[in-house]
């Protein structure tokens, strides 16, 4: 628990992704089983102890310290676990050495609602303040350290010098403390087998296309890149799971998809919501905005299922009826997919059509004309490409639509984090409600923190400092003199913002210090670009 | 006879000694001021006469220019004020020159602590408890969550971080008066013999400490050095410079901050500190409650900080106490 507590504290204060990766990797290498496996699960919110409720810790403290002093402390610190770790009255004699993570997990798992108060107290008595903090965070399952499943896997791979793709593939179906996984990575044992589970297979990804390369369409097939989320639907004949691009199991969020695949197969496609916005000719899909209503939910209401029915537009097949098709050429897999689709529930699955362009120039025309269909762009896949994990050079390319552009006025700036903590690097910009000479005002339409070069960032930082008119904590309001050309993928109606607009992927495209602020775009111009 | 202690009146901008027409740590210019220590929230310029220890007066002169109207007193020295009031300056252990002020009038004794701590500090003499009827205490860290670890432990962590990251520059944010010099002196005590580098805003105050006989070892200015020269070195700067443009010139700085507030993770994170060092020149909860117990005054007045919790503690331990609503004393960086 001491090493785990030190790791938790180091992660709390670590600001860079690489720093976090190195900390976790060092811990995984240096810590024995099963502690490291439990720790990994705790960091990624994988542990649940039903006997420990949010109120448990509070009640525990209320019995030991004055309630008024506890409440004043809690209000100041802002976190119950941290308050409790600092206020815990240490026993005059420490009853034993600090518990290991494994020991703590075993004790916590065995606790009941009747025994939890006493059991948790016994563990806390053996720890110092930092140890108590880590234990309480682990016990209540709320680490909030910003460690995603993906980051944990990358750290695991880094710790033992194995590939992230292998880690992703073998991870699935493994439960904490992941002993077979560590045995494989650290000791060279055979990889864990998960044949009896609907496993996740790492996605094949695409590189951005350099259009100047003009790939020959005799070698590459073209298809649409739909604006939903990439998913994998994996069925072993008994159970079906839906996985997101990061490998998270999102079956509970999209139960209708999980229920619809009953043939043992692993399919790759774009998850969309029914609508009339994109690709109407092949059974319409709604905009990404509509899909967003469904994302991130742990359970789905009947109304949600009825109002936003989901389906998967299929790109590829990895495994069909027990046969691993991944080593085969894309063309072969495509034939297998086309053969498979008629056997699937047509409400839940359809086929992503190929674009019948014969030359690159023709494809460029089709892509340019697809603007109002609000498709994300086109994909180019080498006809002989096997399905390999990750980004492989020369096999798949994505060619995104050209972005939409708007001239906006810089309104507020905020300091960034990490390397950018001394720079004003988060920019909020707005457009005019009407003619600025006739009383039109600026309303914020978006916020962007990338798109500029390091040199441009220095320039923007200086501009913000020299044109500050107001300060609100870390935020500065600027004098609204600078025009920024903002690029974005699409724009949607939003009730959340006063302007009624929300941009998707806004970024600073160009600094237009040449353009007077009153010539920036109007809200109505942006509203005309809404494509919901 | 007047009501007990009615000769000392807490006003919004300081403690007013009625018969002497004098103020303790006033927030605005007055004719006669008694100053506990040199921090800007206690020592302001522009008074007619300023009574303080010679070190505090030197610090004020450095900050506000002229030393006009300065009345230096020694620790333990008793000086008469108008109206039959005697004032005695007693070490408070907070920073160089810091003093508690014992006021005696009409047979009543009041001690005004200013800011204080009970931990040893190589840069100033230790706090001396003085028996009194009214004990006027600060409560900056007046919450039971604040328990400062031993400073040796924090200095060891700082030196360990330096060994662990030889290519990075260790940037320590520390309050320019007191904290910075204490951290440097403790680094020396822990055996760190290499030059320590200073932000420009630190130089004059460190020189003043050295002039007062506090050994700080070799100090060098950061200004003008190429970034590479600072890799593996310890640089001390004011907390406000930690994440500002100034720090961009440093080679991949590892930001540390020495402050009692670093006890709370969220406070450290807000400051974007990688290495929080829990080092404070104020009394923590145990020191506050321990000092009140030791001095055992008839009444405790609480000037500034988290007075609610200390008031509650006094209530629980059946001590007479009141909170004074003084404004302007709060030390976000300490």
B281-296 pLDDT tens trace: 999 999 999 999 999 9
Who's near A455: CB < 8 A, 6+ residues apart? none
Other residues' Cβ atoms within 10 Å of the Cβ of residue B226: 8
Mind listing the pLDDT tens digit for each residue in B193-244? Answer: 999 999 999 999 999 999 999 999 999 999 989 988 999 999 999 999 988 8
Enumerate the β-bridge partners of residue B305. Answer: B139
Higher pLDDT, B333 or A448: A448
The mean of the pLDDT values for chain B is 93
Distance (Å, rounded) from C-alpha A336 to C-alpha A126?
A: 60
Number of H helices, E strands in chain A: 19, 22
How many Å lie between the alpha carbon of A13 and the closest alpha carbon of chain B? 5
**Mean pLDDT value across residues A165-188:** 90
Locate the chain A residue with the closest alpha carbon to B263: A86
Higher pLDDT among residues A248 and B84, named by residue: B84
Q: Encode pLDDT of A44-64 as tens digits.
A: 876 889 999 879 999 999 999
Q: Nearest CA of chain B to the CA of A236: how many Å?
A: 45
B247 vs A15, A86, A422: nearest CB: A422
**Which pLDDT belongs to residue B68?**
81
**Cβ-Cβ contacts under 8 Å for A503 (sequence gap 6 or more):** A445, A446, A486, A488, A490, A491, A492
Q: Which of B243, B313, B316 sits opposite A422 (nearest CB)?
A: B243
Looking at residue A281, its pLDDT comes to: 52
Chain B residue at shortest CA distance from A87: B145
- Where does the pLDDT of residue A376 fall: very low under 50, low under 70, confident under 90, or very high at 90 and above? confident
Q: Which of B243, B264, B316 sits opposite A77 (nearest CB)?
A: B264
Nearest to B143 among A15, A72, A78 (CB): A72
Give the Cα separation of A275 and B28 in Å (integer): 68
Collect all residues of chain B within an 8 Å Cβ-Cβ radius of residue A76: 143, 145, 264, 306
A39 CA: distance to closest CA in chain B (Å)? 20
Q: How confident is the model at residue B334 (pLDDT cuts 50, 70, 90)?
A: low
The pLDDT score that the predictor gives to residue A315 is: 97
* pLDDT score recorded for residue A101: 97
CB A277, CB A239: distance < 8 Å: no
Q: Tell me, what's the pLDDT at B236?
A: 97
CATH 3.30.70.270 is the classification of domain A404-527 = no
Nearest to B128 by CA among B78, B93, B87: B93
Band (pLDDT 50/70/90 cuts) for residue A32 is very high
Q: Which has the minimum average pLDDT: A73-82, A96-105, B32-41, B118-127?
A: A73-82
Q: Which CATH number fits domain A2-140: 1.10.3260.10, 3.30.70.360, 1.10.3720.10, 2.60.120.10?
A: 1.10.3260.10
Measured CA to CA, the distance from residue B272 to residue A413 in angstroms comes to 18
Output A78 or B121, whichever has higher pLDDT.
B121
Facing residue for A422 by CB, picked from B244, B269, B313 = B244
Q: Are A229 and A245 in contact (CB under 8 A)?
A: yes
How confident is the model at residue A444, as a pLDDT? Answer: 94
Q: How far is A75 from chain B (nearest CA, A)?
A: 11
How many CB atoms within 10 Å of residue B86? 14
Alpha-carbon distance A328 to A326, whole Å? 5
Mutate to test the interface with B, among A61, A75, A77 (most CBs of B within 10 A): A77
Confidence at residue B79, expressed as pLDDT on a 0 to 100 scale: 95
Of the residues B139, B140, B144, the best mutation for testing chain A's interface (the one with the most A CB atoms within 10 Å of its CB) is B144
Res B327: pLDDT: 57
Q: Residue B1's pLDDT band (boundaries 50, 70, 90)?
A: very low
The chain A residue lying nearest B314, using CA atoms, is A69
**Bridge partners (DSSP) listed for residue A45:** none
B167 shares contact with chain A (CB less than 8 Å):
no
> Distance, in angstroms, between A474 CA and closest chain B CA?
10
Residues of A in contact with B263 (CB under 8 A): 86
CB contact A234 to B (< 8 Å): no
Q: State how far residue A14 is from chain B, nearest Cα, in angstroms.
A: 6
A361-370, A377-386, B139-148, B190-199: segment of lowest average pLDDT:
A361-370
| CA–CA gap between residue A268 and residue B224 (Å, rounded) | 58
pLDDT confidence tier of residue B326, bands split at 50, 70 and 90: low
pLDDT winner (highest mean) among A185-194, B89-98, B220-229 = B89-98
Interface of B with A in 227-246 (CB under 8 A): 243-245
Residue B107 pLDDT exceeds 60: yes
Kind of pairing, strands A442-448 and A424-432? antiparallel
Cβ <8 Å between A87 and B144: yes
| Rounded-to-integer distance, Cα A365 and Cα A227, Å | 20
**Predicted confidence (pLDDT) at residue A513 exceeds the cutoff of 90:** no
Task: Say which of B143, B243, B276 has its CB closest to residue A76.
Answer: B143
CB B22 within 8 A of CB B81: yes
Residue-level pLDDT at A428? 96
pLDDT of residue A210 exceeding 90, the answer is no
pLDDT at A362 over 50: yes
Q: How far is B58 from chain A (nearest CA, A)?
A: 34
Which residues of chain A are in CATH 3.30.470.30 domains?
204-400
Q: How far is B300 from chain A (nearest CA, A)?
A: 18
Question: Which segments of chain A belong to CATH 1.10.3260.10?
Answer: 2-140
What's the mean pLDDT in A29-41? 95
Specify the pLDDT at position A243. 93
pLDDT of residue B77: 94
CB-CB: which of A14, A87, A421 is closest to B145? A87
The pLDDT of residue B103 is above 50: yes
Q: What is the pLDDT at residue A416? A: 80
Could you tell me if A326 and A388 are in contact, meaning their C-beta atoms sit under 8 angstroms apart? yes
Q: Does the CB of B272 have a partner CB in chain A at under 8 Å?
A: yes
Domain ranges of chain B: 8-145+282-323, 151-277
B8-145+282-323 and B151-277 agree in CATH topology: no
- Across the interface, do A86 and B145 touch by the CB < 8 Å criterion? yes
Find the closest chain A residue to B245 by CA distance. Answer: A422
**Contact assessment for residue A196 and residue A216, using Cβ atoms and an 8 Å cutoff:** no
The region that residue A78 occupies, defined by phi over 0 for left and psi between -120 and 50 for alpha, beta otherwise, is left
CA distance A207 to A214: 14
* A28 close to A155: Cβ distance less than 8 angstroms: yes
Interface of A with B in 93-152 (CB under 8 A): 129, 133
Q: How confident is the model at residue A295 (pLDDT cuts 50, 70, 90)?
A: confident
Q: Are strands A323-324 and A310-320 parallel, antiparallel or unpaired?
A: antiparallel
CB contact under 8 A, B272 and A421: yes
- Give B-chain residues touching A73 at CB under 8 angstroms: 143-145, 309
DSSP B246: G
Between A417 and A297, the higher pLDDT residue: A297
Kindly report which listed range (A42-46, A280-284, A496-500) carries the lowest average pLDDT score: A280-284
Q: Is A113 exposed, middle or buried (0-12, 13-18, 19+ CB in 10 A)?
A: exposed
Q: Is the pLDDT of residue A89 over 50?
A: yes
Under an 8 A CB cutoff, do A68 and B312 touch?
A: yes
Chain B residues lying within 8 Å of A68, measured CB to CB: 309, 312
Element (H, E) at A101: helix A101-110
Contacts of residue B146 in chain A, CB cutoff 8 Å? 86
Q: How many CB pairs under 8 A join A and B?
A: 66
Q: How many Å apart are CA B139 and CA B289, to the nearest integer?
A: 10
CATH class of A204-400: alpha beta
Interchain contact, B263 vs A14, CB within 8 Å: no
Where does B34-85 have alpha helices with state H?
Answer: 54-64
Taking an 8 Å cut-off on Cβ atoms, the answer to whether B243 and A65 are in contact is no
Closest residue in A to B277 (Cα–Cα): A13
Residues from chain B that touch A13, judged by Cβ atoms under 8 A, are: 265, 268-269, 273-276
Q: Kindly state whether A83 is in contact with chain B, defined as any CB-CB distance less than 8 angstroms.
A: yes
* Residues of chain A found within 8 Å of residue B274, distances taken between Cβ atoms: 13-15
**DSSP per-residue string spanning A57-93:** HHHHHHTTS-HHHHHHHHHHH--HHHHHHHH----SS
In this structure, whether the domain defined by B151-277 belongs to CATH 3.30.70.100 is answered with no
Please report which confidence band the pLDDT of residue A262 belongs to, taking 50, 70 and 90 as the band edges: very high
Q: Is the pLDDT of residue A238 over 90?
A: no
Helix ranges (H only) for B165-280 are 179-189, 200-211, 265-270
A9, A77, A421 member nearest B145 (Cβ): A77
Give the gyration radius of chain B's Cα atoms.
Answer: 20
B220-223, long-range: CB < 8 A, 24+ apart:
B220/B195, B220/B196, B221/B197, B222/B197, B222/B198, B222/B249, B222/B250
- Please state, rounded to an integer, the average pLDDT across all residues of chain A: 89
Question: Quick check: B145 and A65 CB within 8 A?
Answer: no
Task: Name which of A70-74, B229-233, B269-273 the model is least confident about.
Answer: B269-273
CB of A72 less than 8 A from some CB of B: yes
B184, B217 contact by CB (below 8 A):
yes
- Give start-end residues of each CATH 2.40.50.140 domain in chain A: 404-527
CB contact under 8 A, A13 and B274: yes
Homologous superfamily of B8-145+282-323 in CATH?
Answer: Ribonuclease Z/Hydroxyacylglutathione hydrolase-like (3.60.15.10)
Burial class (CB in 10 A: 0-12, 13-18, 19+), A301: exposed
Please indicate if any CB of chain A lies within 8 Å of the CB of B125. Answer: no
**What angle in degrees, to the nearest 10, is found between the helix axes of A179-187 and A35-43?**
110
The shortest C-alpha distance from B206 to chain A (Å) reads 26
Q: What is the pLDDT of residues B153-178, one digit of tens each?
A: 999 999 999 999 999 999 999 999 99
End-to-end CA distance of chain B: give it in Å, rounded. 42
Strands A404-415, A475-478: pairing kind: antiparallel
Q: Is the pLDDT of residue A195 over 70?
A: no
Say what percent of chain A tops pLDDT 90.
Answer: 61
CB proximity B145 to A under 8 Å: yes
Partners of residue B273 in chain A, C-beta under 8 Å: 13
Here the tokens at position A48 are 């649940």
Nearest chain B residue to A85 by CA: give it.
B145
């Amino acid at each position: 628990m001491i090493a785990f507590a030190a790791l938790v504290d180091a992660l709390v204060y670590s600001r860079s992704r690489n720093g976090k990766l190195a900390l976790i990797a060092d811990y995984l290498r240096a810590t024995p089983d099963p502690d490291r496996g439990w720790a990994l699960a705790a960091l990624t919110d994988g542990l649940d102890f039903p006997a420990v409720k949010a109120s448990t810790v509070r009640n525990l403290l209320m019995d030991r310290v004055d309630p008024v002093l506890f409440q004043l402390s809690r209000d100041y610190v802002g976190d119950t676990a941290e308050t409790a770790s600092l206020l815990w009255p240490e026993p005059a004699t420490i009853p034993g050495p600090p518990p290991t993570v494994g020991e703590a997990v075993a004790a916590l798992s065995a606790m009941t609602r009747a025994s939890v108060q006493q059991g948790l107290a016994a563990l806390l008595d053996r720890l110092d303040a930092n140890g108590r903090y880590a234990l309480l965070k682990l016990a209540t399952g709320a680490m909030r350290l910003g460690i995603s499943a993906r980051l944990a896997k990358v750290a695991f791979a880094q710790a033992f010098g194995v590939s992230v793709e292998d880690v992703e593939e073998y991870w699935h179906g493994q439960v904490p403390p992941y002993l077979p996984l560590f045995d494989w990575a650290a000791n060279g044992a055979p990889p864990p087998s998960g044949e009896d589970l609907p496993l996740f297979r790492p996605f094949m990804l695409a590189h951005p296309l350099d259009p100047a390369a003009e790939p020959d369409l005799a070698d590459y097939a073209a298809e649409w890149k739909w604006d939903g989320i990439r998913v994998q639907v994996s069925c072993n004949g008994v159970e079906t799971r839906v996985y997101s691009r990061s490998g998270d199991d999102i079956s509970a969020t999209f139960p209708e998809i999980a229920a619809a695949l009953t043939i043992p197969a692993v399919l790759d496609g774009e998850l969309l919501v029914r609508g009339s916005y994109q690709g109407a000719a092949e059974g319409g899909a709604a905009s990404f905005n509509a899909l967003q209503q469904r994302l991130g939910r742990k359970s789905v209401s009947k109304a949600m299922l009825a109002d936003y029915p989901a389906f998967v537009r299929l790109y590829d097949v990895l495994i069909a009826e027990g046969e691993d098709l991944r080593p085969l050429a894309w063309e072969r897999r495509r034939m297998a997919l086309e053969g498979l689709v008629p056997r699937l529930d047509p409400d839940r699955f359809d086929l992503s059509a190929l674009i019948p362009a014969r030359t690159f120039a023709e494809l460029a025309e089709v892509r340019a004309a697809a603007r109002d269909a609000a498709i994300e762009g086109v994909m180019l896949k080498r006809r002989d490409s096997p399905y390999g994990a990750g980004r492989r050079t020369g096999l798949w390319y994505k060619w995104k639509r050209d972005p939409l552009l708007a001239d906006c006025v810089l309104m507020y700036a905020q300091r960034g984090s990490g390397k950018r903590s001394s720079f004003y690097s988060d920019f909020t910009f707005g457009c005019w409600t009407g003619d600025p000479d006739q009383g039109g005002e600026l309303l914020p339409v978006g916020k962007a923190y990338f798109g500029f070069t390091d040199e441009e960032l220095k320039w923007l930082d200086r501009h913000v400092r020299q044109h500050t008119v107001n300060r609100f904590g870390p935020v500065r309001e600027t004098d609204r003199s600078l025009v920024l050309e903002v690029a974005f993928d699409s724009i949607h109606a939003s009730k959340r913002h006063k302007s009624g607009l929300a941009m998707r992927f806004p970024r600073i495209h160009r600094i237009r210090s040449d353009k007077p602020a009153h010539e920036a775009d109007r809200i109505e111009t942006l509203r005309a670009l809404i494509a919901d | 006879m007047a009501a007990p202690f009615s000769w000392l009146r807490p006003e919004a901008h300081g403690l007013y000694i009625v018969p002497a027409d004098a103020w303790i740590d006033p927030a605005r210019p007055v004719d006669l001021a008694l100053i506990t220590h040199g921090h800007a929230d206690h020592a302001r310029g522009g008074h007619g006469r300023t009574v303080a220890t010679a070190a505090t007066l030197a610090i004020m002169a450095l900050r506000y220019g002229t030393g006009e109207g300065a009345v230096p007193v020694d620790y333990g020295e008793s000086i008469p004020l108008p109206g039959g009031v005697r004032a005695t300056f007693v070490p408070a252990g907070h920073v160089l020159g810091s003093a508690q002020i014992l006021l005696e009038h009409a047979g009543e004794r009041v001690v005004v602590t200013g800011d204080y701590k009970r931990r040893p500090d190589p840069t100033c003499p230790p706090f001396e408890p003085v028996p009194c009827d009214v004990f006027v205490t600060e409560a900056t860290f007046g919450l039971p969550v604040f328990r400062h670890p031993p400073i040796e432990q924090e200095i060891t962590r700082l030196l360990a971080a330096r060994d662990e990251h030889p290519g990075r520059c260790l940037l320590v944010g520390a309050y320019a008066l007191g904290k910075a010099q204490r951290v440097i002196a403790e680094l020396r005590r822990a055996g760190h013999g290499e030059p320590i580098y200073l932000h420009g805003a630190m130089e004059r105050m460190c020189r003043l400490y050295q002039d007062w006989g506090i050994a700080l070892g070799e100090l060098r200015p950061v200004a003008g050095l190429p970034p590479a020269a600072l890799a593996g070195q310890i640089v001390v700067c004011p907390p406000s410079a930690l994440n500002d443009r100034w720090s961009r010139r440093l080679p991949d700085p590892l930001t540390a901050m020495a402050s009692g507030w670093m006890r709370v993770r969220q406070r450290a994170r807000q400051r974007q500190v990688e290495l929080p060092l829990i080092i404070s020149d104020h009394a923590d909860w145990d020191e506050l409650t321990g000092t009140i117990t030791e001095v055992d005054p008839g009444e405790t007045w609480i000037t500034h900080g988290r007075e609610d919790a200390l008031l509650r503690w006094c209530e629980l331990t059946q001590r007479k106490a009141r909170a004074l609503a003084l404004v302007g004393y709060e030390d976000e960086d300490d």
